[in-house]
């Protein structure tokens, strides 16, 4: 018995959609680090899940392939448009320093 989720066509779909989402985030100016930190990673997980289940792959590829469209607005057909808009104004902040000395000593 095989697990459908790990079959080659399904795995390829997951990888393809993850790549599309990465390209879309870059296109609209979303910082992936900020996105991954939002809501302790749950917002990122939910966005990836929406993307994997999305049936607008062809529209997304067409939009990403248009070089004449320089708009940083996510397209309305995108199931993650709201997620992208919420992140567009945020920038990555450096991680806080650890509460102990870098030499490994105690505080």
CA angle, residues 53, 55, 56, in degrees to nearest 5: 125
The residues, any chain, with a CB within 8 Å of residue 5's CB and separated by 6 or more, are none
* pLDDT digit string, tens, across residues 75-101: 999 999 999 999 997 765 555 545 555
* pLDDT digit string, tens, across residues 15-63: 999 999 999 999 999 999 999 999 999 999 999 999 999 999 999 999 9
């Amino acid at each position: 018995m095989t697990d459908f989720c790990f079959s080659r066509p399904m795995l390829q779909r997951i990888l393809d959609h993850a790549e599309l989402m990465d390209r879309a985030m870059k296109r609209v100016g979303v910082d992936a680090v900020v996105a991954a930190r939002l809501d302790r990673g749950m917002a990122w997980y939910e966005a990836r899940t929406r993307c994997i289940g999305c049936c607008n792959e062809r529209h997304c590829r067409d939009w990403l392939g248009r070089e004449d469209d320089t708009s940083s607005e996510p397209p309305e057909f995108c199931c993650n448009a709201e997620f992208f808009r919420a992140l567009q104004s945020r920038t990555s902040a450096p991680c806080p320093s650890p509460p102990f000395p870098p030499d490994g000593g105690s505080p």
